[in-house]
Structure 1
Amino acid sequence: MVSVKTLHGSAQLLLDATSGVTDITEKMHRTIARDANPLYRLLDVAGLSTEERRRHTTYRVIQSTTYVLKQGLHYSLSRFSRSEGHPYTSKSMRVVAALNGVCGDHLEASNNPLAINMNFRNSLGEKVQPGSGNLSATVPGASPRIVVLVHGLCLSHEYWKGHNEGNLGTELQSAHGFTPLYLNYNTGRHISSNGKELSEQLQKLVEAWPVEVEELTLIGHSMGGLVIRSACWYGSERNLPWTKLLRNALYLGSPHHGSPVAKAGHMLTFLMRQFRYVSPLALGRHTSAGIKDLRHGNLLDDDWDGIDQDDFHPDGRKPVPLREGTRHYFIAAAIGKRVSNIPSTMMGDLLVRLDSAKGHHADDSRRLPIRLEDCRVFEKLNHLDLLDNKVVHDQILEWLA
């Protein structure tokens, strides 16, 4: 059965898409008409022709109708969406997570109920709310050792449950006495926005924890690793106490210096924008802020503020060093049978290249100083294999022993 929240959010997103397609169609129509009719420019200067006025009116009617429908939808369903307790099944949660990765910043800006609000989950998938009075009930037998697992782009806390091998969080609980928590967040937002919010949430968590926290460990997959580094930066800038409890940070296939997929997508969008006929179809402009941040691996507001991320511009990131006092571990994957061969070097795990996952960079100020024993590269694995592969889990268990 479809929940009211899902129905509300899906309908609102569909109407937003209708508005966007109408805008693209109108732009293409005007561009083609301008070239097909030599008199169009004169008519455009002197005022629209009767035919053009009629077409212009048609587009405005569609946009106005869409707007009215959205407002009516929001007014009629929003109260039911807010009161609904747990609207998502495991499968629908994965679909919503993917939507948040692609257009999560738009969902948040448009107050769409499909936008994910950052929250912690326990091993059963229940929300853990530091500000509530039932924290002890949602984390029974809370340990002084906390591990927080942070998923990557278009994923959710559900993906840590494991497709094949097992649950990394519960393995750490059984082997080393950690209490595992799983972060769920909107991956379409800027990485820095999620980093700042995670920093604040971690502070609330350690303050409200049922027992005194002795040790905090953060594990991030893909974008999750960048969110962790951003949170460490903002937490250290504000001198928040949780940062002094952070003993370990682990990065699984994190694109510390960007992803080639994001770079290729940006290049395609940039080239399409140079041609009038295809410029309206450069849909890469409408992808989320989180995806655009992955072009270079932006961690801070300064890395994107005041910059048109759809334009071609060099890597102007502010160098963010690894937090001192914390042990940092890096895991990378390569699809090839040997790490040293060309497919492994060039393609990495298909989404992140090896040099980016290991923090290597030609610029010394951006290169991440990693001890040899704190970095592992696994062969014949892809990007998502890092979440639930036994050899990866065994390495993490060994490091955190």
Structure 2
Amino acid sequence: MVSIRSVHGSAQLLLDVTGGVTDIVEKMHRTIAREVNPLNRLRDMTGETPVAKQGHTYRIIQSTTSLLKQGLHRSLDGLSAQEEWELSPQSLKITAALNGVCGDHLEASGNPLAISMHLRNSRGEKLQPGSTSLSTMIPDASPRIAVLVHGLCLSHEYWKGHNEGNLGTELQSAHGFTPLYLNYNTGRHISRNGRELSQQLQRLIETWPVEVEELTLIGHSMGGLVIRSACWYAGELDLPWTSRLKNAVYLGSPHHGAALAKAGHLLTSVMRQFRYASPFALVRHTSAGIKDLRHGNLLDDDWAGVDQDDFHPDYRKPVPLHEGTRHYFIAAAIGKQVWDLPSTMLGDLLVRLDSARGQHSDDLKKLSICAEDCRVFEKLNHLDLLDNKVVHEQILGWLA
């Protein structure tokens, strides 16, 4: 059965895309018309040129789109708000991918497809920290909690593993952890997700059915950056949950930026320098979360007041690893050896080895890592880190 909220959100997003494409076409049209006849630049100011007349057509399209969106909201807002909505695993993965690409827009526009941050138990049920149902949903609550945080465009479903196992249930069987899985909108700024996660972890610790003795956070890719951001904001907000944080594990996390995000930003910067190409620099319309991955922004100060589409140096404020916590780093390399050319240049295809291991030429940004707490796995790519048996064995060994 098709969800009303899903139809509502998809239709709204389609209308938003229509408006965005109309803007791009109008800019391209104006650029070409003015370049063909430079006099059009002056005549267009008086409203006498075909360009100005065509602009009226574009305004009609945008006005019609706006009216359709208003009608859509009036028709479906009430129904979608009342609906008990639970997506199938496949639909959830598609929604998660959309959130990664344009999640900040979905949230700002009030689109029902925007994912709100929440925790789930091993059965996939949503938890509500602070409610009386928590003890019912976690009847075998352990004093040891492991929270698994997914990466960009992914969801909690990806921790279940495609081939070799579920890291959360393995931690439960081997070491008595109660596994919880975070689901969140990866298109938001990392710092905003980090602050919200910090507050949710505090509520979780306060309302857990038994006294929490140990908290372990495990983040894949962007998830590792969200964890580090959450630790920072715990100090800023004076939240004591970090006193229970014994371990943090980072799987292919781009601590100093992701290669693909850097390449996309460079391409956008080049395209913006050319009049005809500038309207098609679509990477600048991607989410705030993706743009944060260029350098690995963790804090509001890293992006506030900065045009993230412009070419600019790394303005990040250095964020050291949280003291009193053991930090473990896992990186992947597609080559057969760590030092061969594919591994050195490409890392795991998305994150280079130096970034995943926290290495940086600036000593202030370089992360202090013990050699025995860092492991590189050859012949693996970025997503392999989620469900590889050898990777799981390494984590289980560290957390024993």
TM-score range, shorter chain: over 0.9
Q: Is this contact kept in 2: 1:5–1:87, CA < 8 A?
A: no
- Provide the residue aligned with 1:299 in structure 2: 298
Q: Equivalent pairs: percent with the same residue? A: 75
- Provide the residue aligned with 2:87 in structure 1: 88
Give how far 1:51 is off: 3.3
Deviation per CA, 1:243-264: give whole Å up to 9, x if none: 1000000000000000110000
- Provide the residue aligned with 1:26 in structure 2: 26
| 2:359 pairs with 1:342 | no
Query: Separation in 1 of the partners of 2:361 and 2:386?
Result: 29
Q: What aligned pairs does 1:64-103 form with structure 2 within 5 A after superposition?
A: 64-103=63-102
Give how far 1:239 is off: 2.6
Give how far 1:39 is off: 2.4
Give how far 1:2 is off: 1.8
- Provide the residue aligned with 1:391 in structure 2: 390
SS at match of 2:328: strand
Q: Is this contact kept in 2: 1:105–1:189, CA < 8 A?
A: yes
Q: Is this contact kept in 1: 2:47–2:53, CA < 8 A?
A: no
Query: Separation in 1 of the partners of 2:51 and 2:377?
Result: 61
Query: Separation in 1 of the partners of 2:49 and 2:276?
Result: 24
Question: Which 5+ residue runs of structure 2 have no aligned equivalent?
Answer: none
Query: Separation in 2 of the partners of 1:239 and 1:19?
Result: 43
Q: Is this contact kept in 2: 1:128–1:139, CA < 8 A?
A: no
- Provide the residue aligned with 1:192 in structure 2: 191
- The 10-residue stretch of structure 1 (257-266 or 136-145) with the greater mean CA deviation from structure 2: 136-145
Question: Which 5+ residue runs of structure 1 have no aligned equivalent?
Answer: none
Deviation per CA, 1:182-234: give whole Å up to 9, x if none: 00000000000000000000001111101111110000000000000000000
Query: Separation in 1 of the partners of 2:140 and 2:245?
Result: 21
- Provide the residue aligned with 1:135 in structure 2: 134
- Provide the residue aligned with 2:14 in structure 1: 14
Query: Separation in 2 of the partners of 1:35 and 1:42?
Result: 12
Query: Separation in 2 of the partners of 1:315 and 1:203?
Result: 31
Query: Separation in 1 of the partners of 2:306 and 2:67?
Result: 33
Q: Is this contact kept in 2: 1:6–1:87, CA < 8 A?
A: no
- The AA in structure 2 aligned to 1:102 is V
SS at match of 2:185: coil
- Provide the residue aligned with 1:165 in structure 2: 164
- The 10-residue stretch of structure 1 (5-14 or 47-56) with the greater mean CA deviation from structure 2: 47-56
Q: Is this contact kept in 1: 2:146–2:217, CA < 8 A?
A: yes
- Provide the residue aligned with 2:112 in structure 1: 113
- The AA in structure 2 aligned to 1:68 is L
Deviation per CA, 1:274-294: give whole Å up to 9, x if none: 011110110011000000000
SS at match of 2:217: strand
Query: Separation in 1 of the partners of 2:135 and 2:284?
Result: 45
Give how far 1:131 is off: 2.7
- The AA in structure 2 aligned to 1:395 is Q
- Provide the residue aligned with 1:4 in structure 2: 4
Query: Separation in 2 of the partners of 1:64 and 1:238?
Result: 44
TM-score by length of 1: 0.98
Deviation per CA, 1:51-85: give whole Å up to 9, x if none: 34431221111000000100110111112212222
Q: Is this contact kept in 1: 2:259–2:350, CA < 8 A?
A: yes
Query: Separation in 2 of the partners of 1:79 and 1:358?
Result: 48
- The 10-residue stretch of structure 1 (29-38 or 198-207) with the greater mean CA deviation from structure 2: 29-38
- The AA in structure 2 aligned to 1:34 is R
- Provide the residue aligned with 1:333 in structure 2: 332
Query: Separation in 2 of the partners of 1:393 and 1:41?
Result: 63
Query: Aligned pair in 2 of structure 1 residues 267, 50: CA closer, same or farther (>3 Å)?
Result: closer
- Provide the residue aligned with 2:44 in structure 1: 44
Query: Separation in 1 of the partners of 2:340 and 2:395?
Result: 25
Deviation per CA, 1:24-65: give whole Å up to 9, x if none: 1111111110011232022123x1126344312211110000
- The AA in structure 2 aligned to 1:43 is R
- Provide the residue aligned with 1:229 in structure 2: 228
Query: Separation in 2 of the partners of 1:339 and 1:157?
Result: 30
Give how far 1:237 is off: 2.2
Q: Is this contact kept in 2: 1:146–1:179, CA < 8 A?
A: yes
Query: Separation in 1 of the partners of 2:188 and 2:233?
Result: 16
| 2:216 pairs with 1:217 | yes
Count residues in correspondence: 400
Q: CA RMSD in A?
A: 0.9
- The AA in structure 2 aligned to 1:38 is P
